[in-house]
Amino acid sequence: MVALSAGVNVAPSSQHIASCGALRQSRSTAAPRRAAAVVRPRAVAAPEAAARQGPTIVNGQVLHSATKEQLDVVASMDKYAEEHVLPILKPVEKCWQAQDFLPHPESPDFLDHVHQLQQRTKEVPDDYFVCLVGDMITEEALPTYMAMLNTLDGVRDETGAAPTPWGRWTRQWVAEENRHGDLMNKYCWLSGRVDLRQVEVTIQNLIGSGMDPKTENNPYLGFIYTSFQERATKVSHGNTARMAAEYGDEVLGKVCGAIASDESRHEIAYTRIVDEFFRQDPNNAMLCFADMMRKQIVMPAHLMDDGKHGILNGGRNLFTDFSEVAERLGVYQASDYCDIMEHLVARWDIEHREGLRGEAAEAQEYLMKLPTRFRKLSERAAARKSKAQPARVQFSWIFNREVKV
């Protein structure tokens, strides 16, 4: 996972409570706002309970919005997951581990190797380290992502060790992802360039705050979200890999490149799941794809907080400033967000889907126009930013040194 913002808001807030399937009707009106004002957050045990009680709206989204038709599709996909999703995972013995890239502490030359690492990172600029640390913090929030996947109806791991294809995928995906934060954290610590205590505070705050990707316990929405997010992660880590090599730290470049390669495999798995949604249930898949694009992809670390950033910088938001640094440096930009939209529209062959009904046909038309519309808006936003005077912002992650945003 990666925590970056596209930097452009193209969806009005009233669209953020749209969902797909049978619960779509009338939620663009004022009714959801009235409901959200009076309905207190409460636990809903299962989709069947939601059906008996009527839709529960929390923070502008309907819980358990998947229709019976959607859940039937998911229930039919165990064999598909076994044959097309689980094989994307690598056996543990064939996976790299963090220690493969780091000095060996048992070696008599350990301190010499640490010194060499620190000498390499001396030429890496502070704004790069802000991006690297922000990405690392996001990778370290894995408990949140496992919890999110286990909110999805029809695919959650009911026992914590369920032998179902979905339960095995979630646990083993998390196990592969766990290596990413470990490696980045240790590399940053050894570099001496990062205030690890402030990073650790940010990680704890982020895990405690969670995330709200607006997926409504709906597996269609959830796997569209992860398809987008894994590709964004691949792009971000790929760019930090290239830049590290350009700054003269080839080992750090290999670190980020190895992580980007993992994210690329994981993207394939999630897009294959959505491939099957479109094959079996194109109308609901189209509605859900459009729904997630209307909401926009909320990045998983949007609630990050180090406890100091606002104090140091007159109330500024840490995630927003981290995203601005990534945008300016070219680690992840609004144009990348547009590229991912275009890629998924092409991957799921949105243009050539035929026989769609009513709202699904309208969603298809919306999706075909959206990347161009978003790109124009992002270009206008970039033009405005280029004329603005950059601010200098202190980041506690790098010992309160200033970086342009």
- For residue 397, indicate whether it is catalytic: no
pLDDT at 204: 98
Domains and CATH numbers, the chain: 61-304 (1.10.620.20)
pLDDT tens readout for residues 160-193: 999 999 999 999 999 999 999 999 999 999 999 9
DSSP string, 211-275: -----TT-HHHHHHHHHHHHHHHHHHHHHHHHHHHHTT-HHHHHHHHHHHHHHHHHHHHHHHHHH
Which residue out of 180, 237, 302, 309 is catalytically annotated? 180
- For residue 177, indicate whether it is catalytic: yes
pLDDT at 55: 61
pLDDT at 57: 61
pLDDT at 236: 98
Which residue out of 153, 195, 262, 267 is catalytically annotated? 262
- For residue 169, indicate whether it is catalytic: no
Cβ atoms of 281 and 289 within 8 Å: the answer is: no
pLDDT at 385: 87
Report the C-alpha gap between 394 and 1 in whole angstroms. 25
**266 labeled binding residue:** yes
- For residue 182, indicate whether it is catalytic: no
**180 labeled binding residue:** yes
Tokens 């490696």, residue located: 183
- For residue 352, indicate whether it is catalytic: no
Which residue out of 135, 139, 195, 306 is catalytically annotated? 139
- For residue 173, indicate whether it is catalytic: no
**276 labeled binding residue:** no
- For residue 113, indicate whether it is catalytic: no
**309 labeled binding residue:** no
pLDDT at 54: 54
Which residue out of 67, 215, 226, 233 is catalytically annotated? 233
**pLDDT digits (tens), the chain, 405 positions:** 544 544 444 333 333 333 344 334 333 333 343 344 433 443 333 445 444 445 666 666 788 999 999 999 999 999 999 999 999 999 999 999 999 999 999 999 999 999 999 999 999 999 999 999 999 999 999 999 999 999 999 999 999 999 999 999 999 999 999 999 999 999 999 999 999 999 999 999 999 999 999 999 999 999 999 999 999 999 999 999 999 999 999 999 999 999 999 999 999 999 999 999 999 999 999 999 999 999 999 889 999 999 999 999 999 999 999 999 999 999 999 999 999 999 999 999 999 999 999 999 999 999 999 999 999 999 999 899 888 999 999 999 999 999 999
**343 labeled binding residue:** no
Neighbours of 60 (CB within 10 A): 18
**263 labeled binding residue:** yes
Which residue out of 72, 84, 96, 151 is catalytically annotated? 96
- For residue 349, indicate whether it is catalytic: no
Which residue out of 140, 153, 157, 177 is catalytically annotated? 177
pLDDT at 62: 84
